[in-house]
Each structure stands twice: as C-alpha cells, then as structure tokens.
Amino acid sequence: MEGSSKIKPAARVSGQKQDVWSIINEAAAASPKQPIVNMGQGFFGYNPPDFILNAAKDALDRVECNQYSPTKGRPRLKKAIADAYSPFWGRKIDPETEVTITTGANEGMLSAFMAFIEPGDEVIIFEPFFDQYISNIEMPGGKIVYVPMHPPETGATKTSSAADWTIDFAELEKAITPRTKMIVLNTPHNPVGKVYSRDELQKIGDLCVKNEIIILSDEVYDRLYYVPFTRMATLSPEIEKLTITVGSAGKNFYATGWRVGTFRSTLPFSPVSPFNSIFFRLSSLTFVLLSPLTGWLMGPANLIKYVSAAHTRICYSSVSPLQEACAVGFEQAESEGFWDKTITDMKSKMDRFNEIWAELDLPYSEPEGGYFVLVNMKKVQLPADYPFPEHVASRPRDFKLAWFLIQEVGVAAIPPTEFYTPANAHLAEDYVRFAVCKDDEVLEEAKRRLRGLKKYMQ
C-alpha cells in the first residue's frame, strides 16, 4: 500500500515539519538524566478536585450520561456556564442561544473558523501564538496575517512584567485589509503570561468595530490571573456583538487529558492533532479517535449558531459524562472556594519556581496570568562543539537551549520560536518556556537541577 499513488496523505499533513512536542518528548526519552523533570507541555501534575472527580464517577453510573448529548451541549452544563459568567457580563447570558459546548477549546476554535472562514479570508493572529490556531485557520482555507508581540527591550538583562510584551498598534492597523474577517486574541496569554490591559483590549476592540472583524477571544486561562483581568466581550455592546469567547474546562478544572481513543490503521502515517476529533471510516481500515474534553464558546446568538452548526459536522456532540462533571464543577466552584484557591495555589507555584532565576541571575517575564513562565537564557553559553542532532541544530537557538537543558540538567521546557513565523522567530530565540502546573516537589527538584546551569553562565 505504501507505494500506491492514490493512498497517500494530504499535503496539509505530509508537509509538516516535526512538531515541538515530539522533538521535546523524544529528547526527554533519550536523555541520560532519567527520570526527566517535565515542565514542557502544559498538563497538570495533579488531579482535579474531588467534587469534580466524584461528579465524573457518578455520571458514569447514569444511563443517560453514557449516551449522545445534544449537539450544542447538555442543558445542565450550558446553564451552569451561563450562570457562572452572567455576573461578569453584567446581564443574564442565555444558555440556549449564547453558549455552545465543544470538544475542548481547540475543537471549538476549529468550529468557529469552519463557521466563518471562506478560502482567502484573512485572520490576524499575534505572535507568539498557540500552535493549533494555524492548522485550524488553514483547513477552511484562511490566510493568516501575523502581528508580533514585541518583547521588553531589556529582556536579556532584567526581569520585568509580562505586560511589557507589547503590540505596536500601527502594525496591527496596517495588517487589516478589506479581507480581514477575524482576529484571534489570547488573554491570559500562552506562552507570554501577559494579561491584556483594558486599554489594549479597547484599542483592539475599536479597530474591530471600525472594520467589522469577528474577535475570537481565547480565554482558556480565564481563572488564572494575578492582576486585574478584563474579558474582551464585556468592554462595550458594540465589541460584544463581534466577540466569541472561548473557554476550556480542561484548563479550569486541571483535566487537560480527559481524552479516550482507539486507533487501528494499516497506513504508514499517524494521525495529526488537527484531526483528533474527527471520525473517519474507510473500507479497509478503521480510524476512530474520541476526544471528550470539554470546552465551550459564548457569544451573540447570531454568531454562536453557526459555530454550533460546524461543531455538529465535526464531532456531532462532546462526551456526556464529562460534560455532566463540568456542570457540577461550575455549579459548585464558587461555594467550594475553588476559583480563589486555583489562583492562590498557582501563584504560589509560580513564585516558588521563579526563585531560582534570581539565584542564577537569569531574567524572566513575571507572569500576570496562566501557568507558563518565559525565561531569557541569553547568558547561558552553549558549548561551540556540542553535538546537537541535525533537526535541532537547524532550528533557532531556543531549540538548542531546550535540548541542552534536557541532556545536561534533566529538565524539559519548550522553545517558544515554535509559536512564531521564521521572520519573527529571532524575537524569542533566547527564551525558554516552563509550565509550573506541577507538584511542589517537582518544582523543587527542577530548581535543584537548574542550579547545574551555573557552570555554563557567562
């Protein structure tokens, strides 16, 4: 079958370069420093709280929770989300028309692009970006227009707030054309840790109102902020009319991986993540992946209905028992004190881990939200003759730094230039991203190992 000319992967997957997650995972597996302390991917090192875990277990015992859910989501979950967010909106959100449930935030965003993007339509995204945006926009034929966030000028020498990563509004305005259909915003931001200020959001929102651009506001880290957090849709009725807000129960409730799959194929290629919510059936092979993680989108009824329509065609409905568990999560989070605790706990992890940078005299961007920290490692000297494999040697310096950290100190982190176009990658080539959503002992062990960097400092 391998030599056959008809059975071959589509260009959109076959031409992809090796993704950062497999580079880092392979490096971690090959490192002499086992076990590796993995601060790379943003998965939690601990479980969701008991009131949510127990709700998931209870749901599995109920007949109706093991069957298809309505395609727009279970009524209990839509209501729980509408109730939880109405206070921020300052009005009652209608759970039937303004909320739709998706299979993770990622599938929700794919549905939003599928709903509104025609071939050739332009979508503005800021660099660094969440990597899945790219394929999600390209699948319906969208053209991506990139606008960089500018790092602080003194980033290589001084720690400063993640707020100092800024947008040049003249650059943003120049990127807008008559074909600009959507803009994607991410706040709190992965990987920078920036929480966009009200003023910045207002400027972006005003440009979108002026040019009639849909705003996809990716707010998956919306419960993790350490400075005041403004939600784009709440700025004004005009901005709200254009805004679809994206949420993720995986991020909110420490459950990024409620995913179940079976896969059988005789073809010589593996599925890629943009397709992991889609069900393919071919005569000689079966390929089934189910991704039951729960995300949702909120927005004006006239936008949300089309997102729901696309979602129906992509994965029909999202996993029933875990929707039920998430409903309980939203119903009880406030009274359990969970939202406050999630901030206190993550901020304490952030502070605990970041103590190491003062010791090493390495500057970082002090996060305003989320669970990632970007550290500037310009001062780390990589030995000139270090044996980097070709697929790392050919990438920007941050890939070499990440490889070196894994091999020499046994800590895995992510090179952020993966989230840039080649033209702007130089902006982040001295940075490395660490995820701090790990147990405190893991953070302490990471710090102990990172002290090993001292001998490579200028």
Alpha carbons 249 and 255: distance in angstroms, whole number: 7
For ligand PLP, which stretch binds (CB under 6 A), given 103-111, 341-349, 403-411, 431-439?
Answer: 103-111
Q: Which of 37, 40, 42, 346 binds ligand PLP (CB under 6 A)?
A: 42
Region of 158 (left: φ > 0; alpha: ψ -120 to 50; beta: rest) is: beta
| Residue 362 Cα distances to 166, 376, 437, 454, angstroms | 21, 6, 21, 10
For ligand PLP, which stretch binds (CB under 6 A), given 13-21, 73-81, 99-107, 261-269?
Answer: 99-107
183 in helix, strand or coil? strand
For ligand PLP, which stretch binds (CB under 6 A), given 104-112, 261-269, 271-279, 325-333?
Answer: 104-112
By CB under 6 A, the residues from 436 to 455 that bind ligand PLP are none
Question: Is residue 419 close enough to count as binding ligand PLP by CB under 6 A?
Answer: no
Alpha carbons 437 and 46: distance in angstroms, whole number: 8
Alpha carbons 12 and 61: distance in angstroms, whole number: 41
Task: Please check whether residue 449 is in contact with residue 410, taking contact to mean a CB–CB distance below 8 angstroms.
Answer: yes
Closest separation in Å from C-beta 417 to ligand PLP = 16
For ligand PLP, which stretch binds (CB under 6 A), given 32-40, 71-79, 101-109, 232-240?
Answer: 101-109
Structure tokens at 108: 């929700």
Q: Residue 270 is which amino acid?
A: S
Centroid of chain to Cα 360: 29
Question: Is residue 218 close enough to count as binding ligand PLP by CB under 6 A?
Answer: yes
Q: Which of 69, 135, 159, 186 binds ligand PLP (CB under 6 A)?
A: 186
Rounded to the nearest 10°, the torsion over CA 413, 416, 422, 427 is -120
Closest separation in Å from C-beta 52 to ligand PLP = 15
Task: Please check whether residue 255 is in contact with residue 248, taking contact to mean a CB–CB distance below 8 angstroms.
Answer: no
Q: Which of 31, 135, 190, 323 binds ligand PLP (CB under 6 A)?
A: 190
Size of the site for ligand PLP (CB under 6 A): 14
Question: Is residue 106 close enough to count as binding ligand PLP by CB under 6 A?
Answer: yes
Question: Is residue 295 close enough to count as binding ligand PLP by CB under 6 A?
Answer: yes
For ligand PLP, which stretch binds (CB under 6 A), given 48-56, 100-108, 358-366, 431-439?
Answer: 100-108
Structure tokens at 279: 């069900």
Neighbours of 423 (CB within 10 A): 10
Q: Which of 24, 81, 99, 220 binds ligand PLP (CB under 6 A)?
A: 220
Nearer to ligand PLP, 111 or 159 (CB): 111
Closest separation in Å from C-beta 351 to ligand PLP = 21
DSSP string, 182-204: EEEEESS-TTT-----HHHHHHH
Question: Is residue 229 close enough to count as binding ligand PLP by CB under 6 A?
Answer: no
Closest separation in Å from C-beta 103 to ligand PLP = 8
Task: Please check whether residue 72 is in contact with residue 54, taking contact to mean a CB–CB distance below 8 angstroms.
Answer: no
Task: Please check whether residue 259 is in contact with residue 290, taking contact to mean a CB–CB distance below 8 angstroms.
Answer: yes
Question: Is residue 293 close enough to count as binding ligand PLP by CB under 6 A?
Answer: yes
Give the pairing type, strands 372-376 and 431-435: antiparallel
Question: Is residue 256 close enough to count as binding ligand PLP by CB under 6 A?
Answer: yes
Residue, CB closest to ligand PLP = 104
Closest separation in Å from C-beta 184 to ligand PLP = 9
Question: Is residue 248 close enough to count as binding ligand PLP by CB under 6 A?
Answer: yes
Nearer to ligand PLP, 104 or 274 (CB): 104
Centroid of chain to Cα 290: 19
Q: Which of 130, 165, 296, 419 binds ligand PLP (CB under 6 A)?
A: 130
Closest separation in Å from C-beta 433 to ligand PLP = 11
Q: Residue 107 is which amino acid?
A: E
Structure tokens at 180: 């600009």
Question: Is residue 274 close enough to count as binding ligand PLP by CB under 6 A?
Answer: no
Q: What are phi and psi of 11, to 5 degrees?
A: -60, -30
Binding site for ligand PLP (CB under 6 A): 42, 104-106, 130, 186, 190, 218, 220, 248, 250, 256, 293, 295
